[in-house]
Structure 1
Amino acid sequence: MIRTLHPSQRCEVWVASVGGQAELVYSTDDVLLEAPNWTLDGGALVLNGDGKLWRLDLSTRSLDAVPLTGVPDLNNDHVLAPDGETIFLSANDGHIYRASLSGGPASLITEEDGTFHFLHGVSPDGKELAYVGIEAGDFTQPGKLMTIASDGGATARVDVGPGHCDGPEYSPDGKWLYLNTESFTSAPGHAQLARVRVDGSVFEQLLESGTVDWFPHLSPDGQYSTYVRFPIGTEGHPADLPVAVVLVSTEDWTTPLHTWPLFGGQGTLNVNSWSPDSGRFAFVAYPRGDSFQDSAKD
């Protein structure tokens, strides 16, 4: 399903720094943009919206659709390949595709295996993808952590327990997958941050909190991570909630360096949005009425 803005709601794309500053770089009430990636040249953000892929030039603040063909409507799971020229995409048909970031035809990677495939991570060498598999698209069932070669073929499961998991993303050295999981608790929806060795040999919780924590994204240098903090008791990662984007040092996940409260959730920070120099990251807010801009200055 393609998400749209509610009446009186806006979409705001923000860029924040590890120093705590935040800048509004784009605002629209026409299209609901989601899940920014940062291009390798540092000059643009790549987002989805209205089932399409968009490129937001950070110097001109212009938004242009990437002209893709041969792919169904897109969702907010897309990640750039290490070459900076290729992008991997999840579509609403439950499959993963590969395309050029400049546009053109997309090619199908996953096969019909009875599951929906939600992409989140690309290995540093570009040879492997990490995704969440949901049996028959039945969202009452827990998602499973899966991997597949980036050119397709056989899939493999990485065991992270029985609880639902999401957002698997490779560490910069390629040795770990960072994710959120409900395997550490019996409380419904109580996602916590974790990591697992790519071979499944070590599985550990990164932060024990009372909130619902989703989508850990490591900076390219591995020194920082962002994640989205949902309210206590949240099940899944729904839209239109008071959430917070949190910045931490990977040496201390328990002490936030900076926190940005906003109205959002789904679409705010679903994929890695770090700049290539590890100094900034992007996220999306969906305010109704008062702008997030005022609180971002606090």
Structure 2
Amino acid sequence: MEELKWGSVKSFLETIHIETGERTTLATFDQVVEAPNWTKDGKLIYNRGGKLYSFDMQTDENTFIDSGFATSCNNDHVLSPDEMYLGISHQTNEDRQSRIYTLAREGGHPTLITPMGPSYLHGWSPDGKELAYCAERNGKYNIYTIPAIGGVEKQLTYTPGLDDGPEYSPDGRYIWFNSTRTGLMQVWRMNVDGSSQTQMTFEESHNWFPHISPDGQHVVYIAYQKGDVAPDDHPPNKNVELRLMPSSGGKSRMIVELFGGQGTINVNSWSPDSKQLAFVRYELS
């Protein structure tokens, strides 16, 4: 996936309270940082320059997570439900295609899960047994699942156009994703077996990466302006919105306007109490 050029921007790691709108800047970087995961013990795991780091919100300390040979990670990484493991998407040296690996959260040797690439991880099932990801196979990008220990992948979507960003609902009933099948990128939901694929947003914007709150009540996603980008593209350096909607469907509302896009909220960054979000905004230098 496309990355911002190092040195071209400043990155601001922020949080926002979804009810009050209060924003807090936690850290500023003179480098590109991307895609924070919010842990139950108050840390944010993010990507920087192909490597993973942990930011402690109590001490403001940044800790490198040693992922062994996997030093070309992109911004598609998730935590296991028990937060003992990380799933990462690493551009393998052989062909520079993204493949999915798992390793201990504190660091360790990565285990290959998807032999075929490119594969971009987005979801880990609540029971810990499956991973959901976007993958290109035979020239088409669709949604797949695979056992978290590796095995045979299962294709869930077949509709023409790009399907991306699959994430499990906390109750394990659904996989949320985004799709261009209507001409605009919109948010969709399906059963975990791929059945009952249902459109959830109907807006004049391109909506990416739905993330479901831990209590299952809300979904946040990033919206690009219609006409500003192609439906199947999610570049950096754009004026975008973070939008919030009920998980049952219905009208959304804008909670943040910012300069960002790629890297801002590629992965689930809800706080454990479902009251706040972490995200990254950028400024051109």
Aligned amino acid, residue 102 of structure 1: E
**Among candidates 272, 275, 278, match of residue 279 of structure 1:** 275
User: Residues 183-262 of structure 1 correspond to what in structure 2 (within 5 A)?
Assistant: 183-185=181-183, 190-233=184-227, 234-235=229-230, 236-256=233-253, 258-262=254-258
Contact 2:244 2:255 survives alignment (8 Å): yes
**Among candidates 99, 105, 111, match of residue 107 of structure 1:** 111
* Residue segments in structure 1 that go unaligned for 5+ positions in a row: 290-298
Q: Deviations over 1:248-267 (max 9, x none)?
A: 222444231x4211111000
Cα distance between partner residues in 1 of 2:52 and 2:36:
10
Aligned to 1:293: none
Contact 1:224 1:247 survives alignment (8 Å): yes
Query: Alpha carbon RMSD of aligned pairs, Å?
Result: 1.6
Contact 1:142 1:165 survives alignment (8 Å): no
Matched, 1:21 2:22: yes
Aligned amino acid, residue 110 of structure 1: T
* Residue segments in structure 2 that go unaligned for 5+ positions in a row: 93-97
Displacement of 1:99: 0.8
Q: SS in structure 1 opposite 2:53?
A: strand
TM-score, structure 2 length as denominator?
A: 0.92
Aligned amino acid, residue 198 of structure 2: E
**Among candidates 116, 119, 122, match of residue 121 of structure 2:** 119
Structure 1 residues 259-268 or 60-69, which shifts more?
Answer: 60-69
Contact 1:160 1:183 survives alignment (8 Å): no
**Among candidates 136, 152, 155, match of residue 154 of structure 1:** 152
**Among candidates 177, 180, 183, match of residue 175 of structure 2:** 177
Contact 1:160 1:203 survives alignment (8 Å): no
Displacement of 1:105: 1.4
Cα distance between partner residues in 1 of 2:238 and 2:81:
33
Q: Deviations over 1:131-168 (max 9, x none)?
A: 011137xxxx4411101000001010002511201100
Contact 1:262 1:287 survives alignment (8 Å): no
TM-score, structure 1 length as denominator?
A: 0.88
Aligned amino acid, residue 109 of structure 1: I
Cα distance between partner residues in 2 of 1:72 and 1:242:
30
Aligned to 2:81: 82
Q: SS in structure 2 opposite 1:76?
A: coil
Aligned to 1:37: 37
Cα distance between partner residues in 2 of 1:214 and 1:262:
15
Identical residues among aligned pairs (%): 37
Contact 2:157 2:163 survives alignment (8 Å): no
Aligned to 1:292: none
Distance 1:71 1:6, change over 3 A: closer
Displacement of 1:28: 1.1
Aligned to 2:102: 98
Contact 1:2 1:51 survives alignment (8 Å): no
Contact 1:77 1:119 survives alignment (8 Å): yes
Contact 1:69 1:105 survives alignment (8 Å): yes
Q: Deviations over 1:225-262 (max 9, x none)?
A: 11001011212100100111112222444231x42111
Q: SS in structure 1 opposite 2:118?
A: strand
Q: SS in structure 2 opposite 1:174?
A: coil
Aligned to 2:132: 130
Displacement of 1:277: 1.2
Displacement of 1:21: 1.4
Q: SS in structure 1 opposite 2:150?
A: coil
Q: SS in structure 2 opposite 1:105?
A: coil
Q: SS in structure 2 opposite 1:287?
A: strand
Q: Deviations over 1:151-209 (max 9, x none)?
A: 00101000251120110000111111101101123xxxx20011111112201100101
Displacement of 1:288: 2.5
Contact 2:162 2:179 survives alignment (8 Å): yes
Q: SS in structure 1 opposite 2:28?
A: strand
Contact 2:3 2:262 survives alignment (8 Å): no
Contact 2:240 2:260 survives alignment (8 Å): yes
Matched, 1:65 2:59: no
Q: SS in structure 1 opposite 2:74?
A: strand
Q: Deviations over 1:48-77 (max 9, x none)?
A: 111100101101112221122132410000
